[in-house]
Amino acid sequence: MGLIIRLSAFVALATVLVYVGNTLSYRMDMRDFGAAFGFSFQMVLPMLIIAGVAGVLGLIGLFIKRAGSGLFAILSALVLLACTAGPLGIRHNASQVPPIHDITTDTETPPAFVAVVPLRAETGATNPPEYDREQTAQQLEAYPELDTVTVDADYGTVFDVSLDVLQEMGLVIVEADEAGGRIEATHTSRWWGFKDDVVIRFNREDTPLSIDMRSKSRIGGSDVGANAKRIETFFSKLEEKLQ
């Protein structure tokens, strides 16, 4: 019985390696996005079944005083279950928001990307840098609170603080054009390495100073709410630091 319990643990760990290897193959450009991303969702049910079997056998191992084998199987099952959290979380979040990926505080004259345009081309971005007006209605319905933000503070201070906030949020600054009133930056997700680009426009002629922000994914039809959340987080942190 101990051998069977240990075997279930090894199968669970092997499945973990397959799951991780699938993501690594995409990040190393060995597999295209659609195939790798789709496969991660196809693995969820098998991972749940294998984790369940390993977990049950692990509990049996503890009951029959095969503590070493039992704990090994239970820990392996828990690791495998943790892997399912990613795709299950994405699926849940995607069901709560519209399938859009280009979010802006100004849907009439959205800030334009400049510095990141060649970077998007180099990485094979499937979403063009131009604003997709077909997504406007869905954005306004899903995120009606997103709008131009005004701050009563010195422009130079706001610009510098904005850079600090973006870096604190884990974004890499691509260009900081203080004279032109524009900042562009890129966010890279930890697991898949998905890249979203951000542009912030400072409307210096307005009193008080008004700021618009746009965040757009390079690939994928839905950002599962990430871009809107990024904009909300940025302005929340900016206002907090300026107080």
* Residue finishing a domain among 77, 96, 115: 96
Q: 154 and 48, same structural domain?
A: no
| CB burial of residue 146 (10 Å; 0-12, 13-18, 19+) | buried
d(CA 19, CA 84): 9
Instruction: Tell me the pLDDT band of 2, cut-offs 50, 70 and 90.
Output: confident
* Residue finishing a domain among 64, 96, 128: 96
Q: 109 and 88, same structural domain?
A: no
Q: 111 and 225, same structural domain?
A: yes
Instruction: Please say whether the beta carbons of 60 and 1 come within 8 A.
Output: yes
Distances (CA, A) of 94 to 111, 143, 146, 229: 26, 15, 19, 13
Kindly report the CATH number assigned to the domain that includes residue 128. 3.30.530.50
Q: pTM for this one?
A: 0.84
pLDDT in tens, 20-67: 999 999 888 888 888 898 999 999 999 999 999 999 999 998 888 778
d(CA 185, CA 197): 6
Which residue range is the domain that position 22 belongs to?
A: 2-96
Give the total number of structural domains in the chain.
2
